[in-house]
Amino acid sequence: MARILIVDDDPALLRLLSLRLHYEGHTTIEADSGAAALAKLDLELPNIMITDLRMPGMDGLQLFEAVHRRFPLLPVLMLTANGTIPDAVNAMQRGVFGYITKPFEGVDLMRDVNRALEVSATLGADMPGEDAGESWREAIITRSPRMEKLLSEARLISQSDASVLIHGESGTGKELLARALHSSSARANEPLVAVNCGAIPENLVESELFGHVKGAFTGAVRDSVGMFTSAHRGTIFLDEIADLPIAMQVKLLRVLQEREVRPVGAAKPHKVDVRVISASNRKLEDEVAAGRFREDLFYRLNVVGLTLPPLADRREDIALLAHHFMRTLSQRYAKTLTGFAPGALEQLSTAAWPGNVRQLQNVVEKCVVLCTGSLIPASLVQSALSSQGAEMLTLDDARKEFERDYLTQLLKITNGNVAQAAKLARRNRTDFYALLARHQLESASFKA
């Protein structure tokens, strides 16, 4: 049961809406103009607002702007007459949750209302009557149907101990989802141990993951339990799993099969009870096909696979996320920002976002820091976007670029002597020639 603010200058429509919503068990607050709606909002905050677009005086869009500045996360549905679709699309770009064309069918109305209510329940914070059962995913801000579907799947599988593999481009929220899965599970009160497999030097991976006994190797001055044992009864999050060296993949597979770990230098293994969530921004199937990842381990990890869509494929989330970041960041920087100036959100909504949500967060942070007024102007968004947006490379492209620069440097240092360059790079000559060929580099052109 929710509280819904309905705004329409047509008393007949107001009554119709109100009857239908009461019938579904909701309570309504009614207003016959934008100004009246704003006055009611001062008294009590609804879960969602439904407003007519065309009204004398303040129209629906102006009302939305005013409400949005004060309650950026309140979902607003717009009623539009047939034939005003372009206005409606424009409204969506500004962050209106959705539109309902008049005349409407009761079922269509309720579908949109329920969708808006679902979102309002997950936003928490300043919404009344939030649903405690949804707190596991409260950090994940979204209104995208694709994300909603993914989250309900995640919710289901979180209740089991099945291994989950999360795939998604860099910055799409893989770690956030892993944490949500853990907090939704029966293991929520036990530790979640996150390991970045790409960040641990190869020779230390085994002891980091499984621990070691004192004296197992030089530098092992005391026993160390390792990440798996620390995560006992809880969850281990293996981030960047594709970076795990092949030799370690074999050992990890054994641990998952036997459910026991043997610390480096220990005589006997011991049991561990750990739920495994792993993540990768490369497609693990491709890594398997390329022979860089063991197929048997892949199947062990990927009992359930979840794929986070890139931000560009869920543009309806951009305005919502932008407001969320604006609010939290202006608190952090002790600023009193209230919203985005006209045009600013459109710019954010149409940008490319190769770095996904993290990049959006960075752009908003830059705006918040540099903003001098209470609204973030479009010009500031523009410059924040172009200073880092356009140049933002995907990880694969960044790797390629790095590799090419690195090879060029080697060839310069060695005056194009491939044998010497290969030696410095610790690659055999055949591999090294293949690398040069991949980047279309000719050693001859580096000869003095």
Give the Cα separation of 4 and 252 in Å (integer): 52
What residues numbered 236-265 form the site for ligand ATP, per CB under 6 A?
Answer: none
What residues numbered 275-304 form the site for ligand ATP, per CB under 6 A?
Answer: 281
Q: How far is the CB of 26 from ligand ATP (least distance, A)?
A: 27
Residue 173 sits in the site that holds ligand ATP (CB under 6 A):
yes
Number of residues that bind ligand ATP (CB under 6 A): 16
Helix axes 429-438, 395-413, angle to 10 degrees: 120
Chain residue whose CB lies nearest ligand ATP: 173
Q: Which of 34, 75, 98, 168 binds ligand ATP (CB under 6 A)?
A: 168
Per partner kind, with CB cut-offs from 5 to 8 A, the member of Mg ion, ligand ATP, none near residue 47 is none
Per partner kind, with CB cut-offs from 5 to 8 A, the member of Mg ion, ligand ATP, none near residue 371 is none
Q: What is the DSSP letter of 224?
A: B
Give the Cα separation of 246 and 159 in Å (integer): 31
Q: What is the DSSP letter of 165?
A: E
CA nearest to 340, candidates 375, 380, 382, 367? 375
Residue 141 sits in the site that holds ligand ATP (CB under 6 A):
yes
Residue 196 sits in the site that holds Mg ion (CB under 5 A):
no
**Which is closer to Mg ion, CB of 87 or CB of 239?**
239
φ/ψ of residue 205, rounded to 5: -55, -45
Q: Which of 26, 115, 143, 174 binds ligand ATP (CB under 6 A)?
A: 174
**Which is closer to Mg ion, CB of 175 or CB of 260?**
175
Candidate ranges 11-19, 85-93, 119-127, 137-145; the one touching ligand ATP (CB under 6 A): 137-145
Neighbours of 79 (CB within 10 A): 24
What residues numbered 142-161 form the site for ligand ATP, per CB under 6 A?
Answer: 142
Q: How far is C-alpha 411 from the chain's CA centre? A: 41
Cα→Cα distances 49→5, 52, 74, 173, Å: 5, 10, 7, 29
Per partner kind, with CB cut-offs from 5 to 8 A, the member of Mg ion, ligand ATP, none near residue 170 is ligand ATP
Give the Cα separation of 20 and 99 in Å (integer): 17
Q: Which of 30, 32, 130, 175 binds Mg ion (CB under 5 A)?
A: 175
Q: 175 near 134, Cβ under 8 Å?
A: no
What residues numbered 305-364 form the site for ligand ATP, per CB under 6 A?
Answer: 321, 357-358, 361
Helix axes 356-370, 318-332, angle to 10 degrees: 50
Candidate ranges 48-56, 97-105, 171-179, 343-351; the one touching ligand ATP (CB under 6 A): 171-179
State the greatest distance between any 2 C-alpha atoms of the chain, in Å, as a whole number: 87
Per partner kind, with CB cut-offs from 5 to 8 A, the member of ligand ATP, Mg ion, none near residue 303 is none
Per partner kind, with CB cut-offs from 5 to 8 A, the member of ligand ATP, Mg ion, none near residue 163 is none
Which of left, alpha, beta for 194 (phi over 0: left; psi -120 to 50: alpha)? beta
Q: 2 near 48, Cβ under 8 Å?
A: yes
Per partner kind, with CB cut-offs from 5 to 8 A, the member of Mg ion, ligand ATP, none near residue 176 is ligand ATP
Helix axes 145-158, 174-184, angle to 10 degrees: 40
Q: Which residues bind ligand ATP (CB under 6 A)?
A: 140-142, 168, 170-176, 281, 321, 357-358, 361
Task: Point out which residues bind Mg ion (CB under 5 A).
Answer: 175
